[in-house]
Structure 1
């Protein structure tokens, strides 16, 4: 992610900085940082005092990690602060007058506060171990704890439910939800009991399961979200069939050779390969690609050598489809092209 931020920064400094902020907070949250750590991070990134009022208690940190002069109420915060609020919390940044009106600083501050708010919301969900949705979908928790959490939502353990996965910054729906750290960063989990929710896109829909098996639905929802793209902005894990089982058993830390081979292809070769797999013939693939059929034939032979199989055969197509699926499930910290 840091490498991506660096490359993006050379093309668009503001976009690169935004991506760096997202990555920074994702690391803090995934490592279990508390409120103080989140505030220190926000203060360092913004160069301003970061504050939070959680259940009536105000905490503030400056960029040096010190506690500024005490305030007793968020009303004492400078008027130009950027704020976000939840049920029992508010977070903000404090700016002096000379920084007012700087567009880039405003955009950066907005993102810092946005990620700080996600972190605090997650901390508050974790503080309620018996009632948060994160407890319902956490496979590491004992069944008894998950059943207790279900009771807080007035759900019978045998009732069918499914979990929806969307981006952490997606709009909340009229249903219980929580911001959850995953190997792909922060995501929003939403509990669906009716099948009538319309999640913001992109979205992954988990399989319908008994409520006490909600972690299985969440796992499927995350897989489905990773497969969502412009052509299929909402993916239902149920539609993956047996491929879902393959995805759930895949360990991206030790990717298969077929996945590594795909990851080594440049963008143009990947496009040619995809067209070859989907087309009825070499000539039809050439028509789609706008290339001479002999050139496409040569590219197919080169790809067969690089992949270790002919993508035009039935077995080759199966290997490609499986490898493409698993490549899309590889997180930013996994090095699929190595080895």
Structure 2
């Protein structure tokens, strides 16, 4: 499909873009995206806010994918589609853009399919949504024949990860880190695709708590640790949950600015028993490592080999993994 879209785009850019839009929504729908995922897709593709009202409940997404909570301006609903119990729209000043109709058409189709599906089975994205009332979550669990007091945990994987073939509830869910796949684990025996973040075990009616930490755990995976269990984080989990990745701490900004070689030397210095053993591990002269230690201490603003310094370094390393790839530079001081 991507090759066909590229070929069409070379012949007829308008047709190529239309096919890309169709393909984009088809993938979202096939992967079980919920309403937020569909609105996010429409907003990203159109470059303007997308909204939906279903049985009196309004949900809106900005072009950057973030939820909009302020009241919508009725005058900006340049295009809309309505059904018996739902309406979807794009919010744009002035005339619609060339592909707005196609985007809205695919959004409407996605919502219609979503509603049809949820007449029989509510999406998992609703169960892990923290803004939903507990009573509503209990109802959704009951519809799936899941005891609200049952012990469950959520698994977080990338959106393009293969969904479990065990019948475990799974859906694409929008998060602050983009679209991720949520899977409800009732047994602890699910075959987990890698990488994956495992949430803590909790009552089913408190599923959002497990999902929140599963997302954190996924962000902490790497090539050497492709699966991270949030339970293993202990007290560090509190720090990770309180962290705002859009507003990095100065310690995090400083680590992000280090080049790979300096970062490797710093890690070795923080973990080694002594500066001499760090020099041996790095294959460098003791005096050279001593000089690098002093320079890094000046750059960091703390000594990574002291107890407090190691604590700051470990915390900053953890939070750096939770930070968006592009870390804003430290603000200039007067």
Contact map agreement 1:121 1:179 (CA 8 A) in 2: no
Name the structure 2 match of 1:244: 237
Contact map agreement 2:256 2:327 (CA 8 A) in 1: no
Q: 1:187 aligns with which of 180, 183, 189?
A: 180
Q: Which structure 1 residue ranges, 5 or more long, are not aligned?
A: 1-20, 42-62, 69-90, 92-115
1:33 aligns with 2:23: no
Q: Deviations over 1:156-192 (max 9, x none)?
A: 1111100000010001102110001111111100000
Structure 1 residue 338 displacement after superposition: 4.8
Structure 1 residue 331 displacement after superposition: 2.2
Aligned length: 246
1:164 aligns with 2:168: no
Q: 1:137 aligns with which of 118, 122, 128?
A: 128
Structure 1 residue 33 displacement after superposition: 3.2
Q: Distance in 1 between matches of 2:224 and 2:284?
A: 24
Contact map agreement 2:37 2:174 (CA 8 A) in 1: no
Name the structure 1 match of 2:79: none
- In 2 relative to 1, CA 314–123 (structure 1 residues): closer, same or farther, beyond 3 Å? farther
Contact map agreement 2:36 2:173 (CA 8 A) in 1: no
Name the structure 2 match of 1:316: 309
- In 2 relative to 1, CA 321–39 (structure 1 residues): closer, same or farther, beyond 3 Å? closer
Structure 1 residue 251 displacement after superposition: 1.4
Q: Deviations over 1:53-98 (max 9, x none)?
A: xxxxxxxxxx953879xxxxxxxxxxxxxxxxxxxxxx9xxxxxxx
Q: 2:261 aligns with which of 251, 264, 268?
A: 268
> Normalising to structure 2: TM-score of the pair?
0.65
Name the structure 1 match of 2:214: 221
- In 2 relative to 1, CA 123–251 (structure 1 residues): closer, same or farther, beyond 3 Å? farther
Name the structure 2 match of 1:128: 118
Give me the CA root mean square deviation: 3.4
Contact map agreement 1:260 1:336 (CA 8 A) in 2: yes
Name the structure 2 match of 1:255: 248
Name the structure 1 match of 2:77: none
Q: Distance in 1 between matches of 2:112 and 2:227?
A: 25
Q: Distance in 2 between matches of 1:333 and 1:127?
A: 38
Contact map agreement 1:279 1:285 (CA 8 A) in 2: yes
> Normalising to structure 1: TM-score of the pair?
0.65
Structure 1 residue 253 displacement after superposition: 2.4
Q: Distance in 1 between matches of 2:116 and 2:318?
A: 32
Following TM superposition, the consecutive aligned residue runs of length 4 or more in structure 1 with deviations greater than 4 angstroms are 29-32, 34-41, 119-123, 336-339
Q: Which structure 2 residue ranges, 5 or more long, are not aligned?
A: 1-20, 29-34, 48-96
Name the structure 1 match of 2:99: 65
1:176 aligns with 2:148: no
Q: Distance in 2 between matches of 1:125 and 1:278?
A: 53
- In 2 relative to 1, CA 31–224 (structure 1 residues): closer, same or farther, beyond 3 Å? closer
Structure 1 residue 336 displacement after superposition: 6.0
